[in-house]
Amino acid sequence: MGMTFAQKILAAKAGLDSIDVGQIVEIEPDICLSHDNTAAIAKTFAKIGVSRVKDPDKFVIVLDHTVPASQEKYALNHKEIREFVKINGIRRFYDVGMGICHQVLPEKGFALPGRLILGSDSHTTTYGAFGAFSAGIGRSEMAVLYATSRIWLKTPESFQIVVHGHLTDPVSAKDLILHIIGTIGADGALYKSVEYSGEAVEVMSIASRMVLCNMAIEMGAKNGYCAPDDKTTAFLADRAEGEYTTVFPDDDAEYEQVMEFDASALGPQVARPHTVDNVSPVEDVAGKPIQQALLGTCTNGRMEDLRVAAKILEGRKVANGVRLLVLPASQEILLEALKEGVIDTLVKAGGLLLNPGCGPCLGAHQGVMAPGEATISTANRNFKGRMGSRDAEIYLGSPATVAASAVTGVITDPREFF
Amino acid sequence: MNKGRVWKYGDDVNTDVIFPGKYTYQPMEPAEMAEHALEDLDPDFAKAVQPGDIIVAGKNFGCGSSREQAATCLKAAGVAAIIAPSFSRIFFRNAINSGLPVIELAEGTDAIQTGDQVGIDFADGVVEHDGKTYGFPPLPPEVLAILEDGGLIPHVKKLLAASA
Ligand code: SF4
């Protein structure tokens, strides 16, 4: 019997020929990620009684969640992290301004095929877009990894999500993943390893595959996976931090479920408050007034996202009474967007450019909402209270839908602009 | 048998309503975290919760963020256990690692209401409510060992001391 991607990679890491679903293994991850939560992790680490991080080169730390510090508490948090990094000789440290961890890690060449990556952030699933096995863990577990470099993992069952056909512009990977989550539910893939395949995924850009894997967690998945190909190799060509070996599922692997979707008939989708699986076609929510539009985050802050928004906003203006926040996911993207004139277009249209980072996505600073307000956002979560007031609403959509809605001031079908 | 008073919630209780993101990057001790427990879901909870109380919820409890405070704040608030048909993966790990028992109970949770008394027998894997009993699967030994040591950090400390 063949093995799924999850079985193959966990078996390899555990030094086993084969592995059963449900089997618990103790492994050593290749790369571990933490961000602004590193100070708290460092405090837990201190309780273990091990004086130094065992293998500092395993750890990548990116300051992105509350950057630059908007309060003294955050500033202190960042200061403690810088000290921890220095004391422990952690070289792979990216200070404020480099971007969101899930963008910086691939850009710096750490998200590689066949790598096992764990992060104390739930959207660590993003690196599956490169054929890595990547999953979120908690802070105590990261502290233990500092001390021992080892952790236990259970081998998950796998789902195969096959997407036939092609998406039609401006329908994007975001609409597709919202549709998938809306169909199978917020717990539809609970604890599963989700392998995306099919024609639509094969033709997809790396950035779009990152959207699919980023949001795998929103249906409860342990990890997401797209088979690495020429596009992966091209992306990694000048970036890869070391050698890598691609890992593919066997043809006769056993899946708990195979689910098929058709991309060709799909239109823009929107997740309504307050759960990500509360999804409907944009037509059903069109006309809903918004006060804020957010373009960015680890889900949709990349060049293709900014470009499609700029295409819609070119020569137009953001509606009166709407705040359009623009957050490129990284410094690299900001520079490219500046060079291409995309930022110029977005700002001339009335967009407010914020620094690369998480921005208001987690509700800690920069552009949170007052009671009674609504935001249409390209982020991955619309939970109650996540972006400011618990009496505010978050709608999730694609960059095109966010841009179109920013122009009209109400949730709008972006196809009207194409 | 451990007995406790129930707080009942629905499906998909997410980490943002358990412990809001705005507090996530502020240094905080567990006792202070407990004051914000379930703040955006049930503002009465943190004021009225008693040590030994039990949370019973619907499917996919703890979905969303990896923030461990979602488990730590409930543990610090005195919650003795959480019972739900399913848990999000990271929350499940965080709860065990915080020394907070999580029980996956396939049936019986629908009938349980806020204020009810529920009994839990961890050794036999049984939940008792209103004269009825429901079995739950035991945790794997690797995981049980963490819980028995009071969480991941004391567990690892013990292992490191034993190997030193
Ligand atoms: S952009 Fe939002 S979802 Fe992504 S890592 Fe930052 S806070 Fe989390």
- Do residues A109 and A152 share a domain? yes
Q: How confident is the model at residue B122 (pLDDT cuts 50, 70, 90)?
A: confident
**b/e sequence B124-139, b meaning 16+ C-beta within 10 Å:** eeebbbeeeebebeeb
**Domain-terminating residue out of A228, A261, A294:** A261
Q: How confident is the model at residue B123 (pLDDT cuts 50, 70, 90)?
A: confident
CA distance A66 to B27: 13
CA distance A394 to A384: 8
Calculate what percentage of chain B has a pLDDT beyond 90: 86
Report whether residue A297 contacts ligand 1, using a CB cutoff of 6 Å: yes
| 8 Å CB contact of B88 and A37 | no
CATH code of the domain containing A228: 3.30.499.10
Q: How confident is the model at residue B142 (pLDDT cuts 50, 70, 90)?
A: confident
**What confidence tens digit (pLDDT) does each residue in A72-94 have?**
999 999 999 999 999 999 999 99
| 8 Å CB contact of A186 and B25 | no
Paired with A287 in beta bridges are: none
Q: Tell whether A238 is covered by a domain.
A: yes
B-contacting residues of A 305-364, CB under 8 Å? 362-364
- The alpha carbon of residue B44 and the mean position of all alpha carbons in its chain are separated, in whole angstroms, by 18
Q: Tell whether A10 is covered by a domain.
A: no
- The alpha carbon of residue B154 and the mean position of all alpha carbons in its chain are separated, in whole angstroms, by 18
Only one residue has tokens 């059963």, namely A20
Task: Tell me which chain B residues have a C-beta less than 8 angstroms from the C-beta of A20.
Answer: none
| 8 Å CB contact of A140 and B24 | no
Task: Tell me which chain A residues have a C-beta less than 8 angstroms from the C-beta of B144.
Answer: none
Report whether residue A298 contacts ligand 1, using a CB cutoff of 6 Å: yes
Q: Tell whether A3 is covered by a domain.
A: no
Q: Tell whether A383 is covered by a domain.
A: yes
Q: Cβ of A139 under 8 Å from any chain B Cβ?
A: yes
A163: containing domain: 24-261
Residue type, A147: A
* 3-class SS of residue A256: coil
Q: What is the mean pLDDT of residues B117-123?
A: 93
Task: Supply φ then ψ for residue A296, to 5 degrees.
Answer: 155, -150
pLDDT at residue B85 in the model: 96
Task: Tell me which chain A residues have a C-beta less than 8 angstroms from the C-beta of B14.
Answer: 275, 381, 383
- Do residues A79 and A228 share a domain? yes
Report whether residue A123 contacts ligand 1, using a CB cutoff of 6 Å: yes
Of A24, A49, A220, which has the smallest distance from its Cβ to B157's Cβ? Answer: A49
HSE-up of residue A224 (Cα within 13 Å, Cβ side): 29
Report whether residue A100 contacts ligand 1, using a CB cutoff of 6 Å: yes
Closest by CA position to A354, among listed A410, A292, A408, A304 = A292
Mutate to test the interface with A, among B40, B90, B163 (most CBs of A within 10 A): B90
Report whether residue A362 contacts ligand 1, using a CB cutoff of 6 Å: yes
Work out the angle at residue A275's Cα, subtended by the Cα atoms of residues A269 and A276, and round it to the nearest 5 degrees: 40
Q: The tokens of A379 are what?
A: 């982020």
The chain-wide mean pLDDT, for chain A, equals 97
Q: Cβ of B16 under 8 Å from any chain A Cβ?
A: yes
**Domain-terminating residue out of A237, A261, A285:** A261
- Do residues A252 and A303 share a domain? no
**Domain-terminating residue out of A232, A261, A290:** A261
Q: The tokens of A304 are what?
A: 């293709």
CB-based contact A91:A56 (threshold 8 Å): yes
Closest by CA position to A161, among listed A196, A213, A186, A201 = A196
Report whether residue A361 contacts ligand 1, using a CB cutoff of 6 Å: yes
Per-residue pLDDT of chain A (418 residues; tens, 9 = 90+): 899 999 999 999 999 999 999 999 999 999 999 999 999 999 999 999 999 999 999 999 999 999 999 999 999 999 999 999 999 999 999 999 999 999 999 999 999 999 999 999 999 999 999 999 999 999 999 999 999 999 999 999 999 999 999 999 999 999 999 999 999 999 999 999 999 999 999 999 999 999 999 999 999 999 999 999 999 999 999 999 999 999 999 999 999 999 999 999 999 999 999 999 999 999 999 999 999 999 999 999 999 999 999 999 999 999 999 999 999 999 999 999 999 999 999 999 999 999 999 999 999 899 999 999 999 999 999 999 999 999 999 999 999 999 999 999 999 999 999 8
- Do residues A308 and A413 share a domain? yes
pTM of this prediction? 0.96
- Do residues A274 and A257 share a domain? no
Distance between A143 CA and the closest CA of chain B, angstroms: 8
Report whether residue A36 contacts ligand 1, using a CB cutoff of 6 Å: no
The strand pair at A116-119 and A31-34 is best described as: parallel
Q: Tell whether A112 is covered by a domain.
A: yes
Task: Tell me which chain A residues have a C-beta less than 8 angstroms from the C-beta of B97.
Answer: 138, 140-141
Task: Tell me which chain A residues have a C-beta less than 8 angstroms from the C-beta of B156.
Answer: 48, 144, 147-148
Q: The tokens of A352 are what?
A: 């407010």
Paired with A196 in beta bridges are: A161, A226
CA distance A396 to B39: 23
Report whether residue A358 contacts ligand 1, using a CB cutoff of 6 Å: yes
- Do residues A249 and A298 share a domain? no
- Do residues A115 and A34 share a domain? yes
CA distance A282 to A270: 5
Neighbour count for residue A359 (Cβ, 10 Å) = 28
Residues in chain A: 418
- The residue of chain B with its CA nearest to that of A38 is B25
Distance between A163 CA and the closest CA of chain B, angstroms: 25
The strand pair at B2-8 and B117-121 is best described as: antiparallel
Paired with A24 in beta bridges are: A154
Task: Supply φ then ψ for residue B20, to 5 degrees.
Answer: -55, 145
B-contacting residues of A 190-249, CB under 8 Å? 190-191, 220, 222
Paired with A352 in beta bridges are: A325
The residues, ordered by sequence, that sit 6+ positions from B41 with a Cβ below 8 Å of its Cβ are A384, B9, B13, B17, B18
Start-to-end CA span in chain B (Å): 37
Distance between A25 CA and the closest CA of chain B, angstroms: 10
- Do residues A224 and A274 share a domain? no
Nearest CA to ligand 1 atom 4: A298
- Do residues A56 and A32 share a domain? yes
- Do residues A225 and A276 share a domain? no
Nearest CA to ligand 1 atom 2: A361
| 8 Å CB contact of B14 and A383 | yes
Q: Tell whether A12 is covered by a domain.
A: no
Instruction: Provide the number of structural domains found in chain A.
Output: 2
- Do residues A252 and A278 share a domain? no
- Do residues A64 and A170 share a domain? yes
ipTM greater than 0.90: yes
Of B64, B67, B68, which has the smallest distance from its Cβ to A383's Cβ? Answer: B64
Q: Tell whether A363 is covered by a domain.
A: yes
HSE-up of residue A93 (Cα within 13 Å, Cβ side): 17
Q: Cβ of B42 under 8 Å from any chain A Cβ?
A: no
Q: Tell whether A349 is covered by a domain.
A: yes
pLDDT at residue B139 in the model: 86
